[in-house]
Structure formats: C-alpha cells, structure tokens
Amino acid sequence: MLVESENQTVMPSAAIEHDKILLSRLQLFRNVKLQTPEMEHLLSLCQYRVLKEGEELLSKNKENEFLYVLMNGRLVITLSDHEDSLLTIVEPGECVGEMSIIERRAPSASVSASEKATVLQVSQDILWRMVSASHEISRNLLYIMSERLRYSNLVIADSFEMQRKFQRFAYTDSLTGLHNRGWLDDMFAREVSRTERDNLPLCLIMIDVDHFKKFNDEYGHLAGDLVLKTVGENIRKPLRPNDLVARFGGEEFSVLLPETKLEHAEIIAERLREKVSNAKHGTIDGQKIPSVTISLGVTEYKPNYTLETMIASADVAMYKAKQNGRNCVQLANDA
C-alpha cells in the first residue's frame, strides 16, 4: 500500500520486513546481521520512497537529511539541468546522499530518477544509530565514501582534459542539435579506455537515412533538413543517458553504446529503426512530409580496434542492410 506524504509517494516501513534478504545484498548492509532486535527496530523506522521518472531526489539548493539506497530503477547525478552535465548513473544497490549528510552541507550535485525508481530512505539520525550498532555498516559506509571520492577525482581529472579539448572543437551539429564527429572521436577514446580498463563491452551503430538524396530532390532541402532533425530526435530519445549519439555527417548518424553486448545492441538498433519509421515529420507550406526509414549496421569492440575500424565494420553492415531491402538492422560479420 502506497502513502502520500509531503507530495512524496512512500511505502509503510512494514514493507521492509519482507526484504531482509534483498537488503543484505546491498552495499550498505553487506555482512550486517539484520535479524538483531536493534537493527530490526532501526529498519522499521525507515521507509521506501517511490520516485516518478524525472523526479528530483537531491538538489544542490536544498540541504539533505537522508541517505538513499536505490532498490530498483535508475538515478542520474548531474551538475546542472543541462543534459551534458551528467556525471554518472546510479544502479540498484548503490547509495546517494552520504557525503552531504557527513559534511552537513547541501549536495554538490543534483540527483533525479531517469525512470520510475524505489529508494530506501534512511534519515541522518537512524544512519548514525546503525553505525553505532554495527561495525560492518561503518566499514561499508567508509567503502562507499572512498569509492565516491575516487570517482570524483577521476571526474576532476577528466574535466581538465575535456576543457582543453573543448577549446579546439565545436562539438555540436547546428542542424540537429546532436554532437558531431569531432565529439565522437574524443568520446570514443574515453570509452575505449574505460572498456579496456574495466573489461566491459562496447558497441557502435552506424545509421543512414534510406533514399535521402531522392527525398531531397523531390521535396526540397528544407524538407530534408526537417527530416534530419526529426530522425536525430527519434534516435536520441529512446537511448539511455550514458549512450552517445552524434550526427556523423550528411544523412548518417552514429550511436556508441557503452557497457552493451552485441545482442543487446541489436535490440536497441531495432528499437531505433522502429521509432524512426513511425515518426511524423510535419508539413512545409501545407505539404505533408512523408515518413522515412533508416538502415543500421551494428558492430562490437574488439581489442586494438580504433574508431575507424569500428566505423568501417559498422558501415559494411549498414550497406549490407541496404542491399537486403533497407529499413532493417544488420550485424557486422566480424562482430
């Protein structure tokens, strides 16, 4: 049963009693004896909070009094409201809010739900009582904080490097508002470094608008520009916050998928194909602009691949999709 409290949807604390096994697997409660009377009492004082997509959990302009443990869904940490300020994504089992509680200051970044999510809400007072009751919680909290500090240091180092490179490149495509090839070159290098360091998968999708030259000749360049904008929007919207999309040039687009295996990249590519084919492009001078389709080629990163290698591999697959009738997804043979 859900309860509305101060414009927030919360679940009664009794619901936590049924989740002891799940809680024991989370970072904060790892190796903690949750069945002791004291811990059971402290957990009964906590609540689950259900977040709607886009709902803000932590704000840079408001002091925080809670530690939040993500139970399901996804949170994003951002520096500002601008979409390019994304710092990281919070996955189930991870915590947010611990630094602002300890520092007794407003959070240094904003946290919001990128999809419907449920968090365990632990008040500052209850957290310290838990720390006093369990050395394991103290150890887990220190580990969580050290990881947060380590990541912050990496972000700072990356930020200095990015500032230097932003002085040399204009990274936004003026027509679609997407990033451009120069941005893709830079982000690819960063993602490959992370992929190799953490042994993670990485995939690239190359996309081409079908019969675009014929479309331009028949309906004019204004209609063509409108179609490219709409295609760009419909490619970007279904993607996850950490996926990277760019206008590669002309009627071609690129999507870089971190932490994604080939079979999942194929599913994402098919979702993009369907989204674009069903898109409405509006009208120009009273003339309805017809829908368009796209052909997509998908490839997976392998050791020693460069961006050019992956583009070439995905391009071959994309042109094979065109040979197979267009409006379809094709996997690279070498993937």
Spell out the per-residue pLDDT of the chain, length 335, in tens: 344 444 555 554 555 555 666 787 788 888 888 888 998 899 889 889 999 999 999 988 888 889 999 989 999 988 765 555 677 888 888 888 888 887 777 887 889 999 999 999 999 999 999 989 888 888 888 888 777 676 665 655 666 666 665 544 567 888 998 989 888 888 888 898 889 889 999 999 999 999 999 999 999 999 999 999 999 999 999 999 889 999 999 999 999 999 999 999 999 999 999 999 999 888 888 888 999 999 999 999 999 899 899 999 999 999 999 999 999 999 998 75
Residue 252: which of 220, 206, 219 has the closest Cα?
A: 206
State the catalytic residue, choosing from 98, 191, 251, 252.
Answer: 251
Task: For each of the domains in the chain, give its residue range(s) and CATH number, in order of start.
Answer: 3-154 (2.60.120.10), 181-331 (3.30.70.270)
3-state secondary structure of 245: strand
pLDDT at 4: 45
Q: Residue 298 in contact with residue 264, Cβ under 8 Å?
A: no
Using CA atoms, how far residue 126 sits from 1, 45, 94, 216, in Å, is 23, 8, 18, 64
Phi and psi at 277, nearest 5°, equal -65, -25
Give the number of other CB atoms < 10 A from CB of residue 113.
22
Q: How many helices (H) and strands (E) does the chain have?
A: 10, 17
pLDDT at 165: 59
- The region that residue 281 occupies, defined by phi over 0 for left and psi between -120 and 50 for alpha, beta otherwise, is alpha
pLDDT at 168: 47
Judge whether 251 counts as a catalytic residue: yes
Question: CA 297, CA 317: separation in Å to the nearest integer?
Answer: 4
For residue 312, what are the contacts with CB-CB under 8 A and spacing of at least 6? none
Q: Is the pTM of this model over 0.85?
A: no
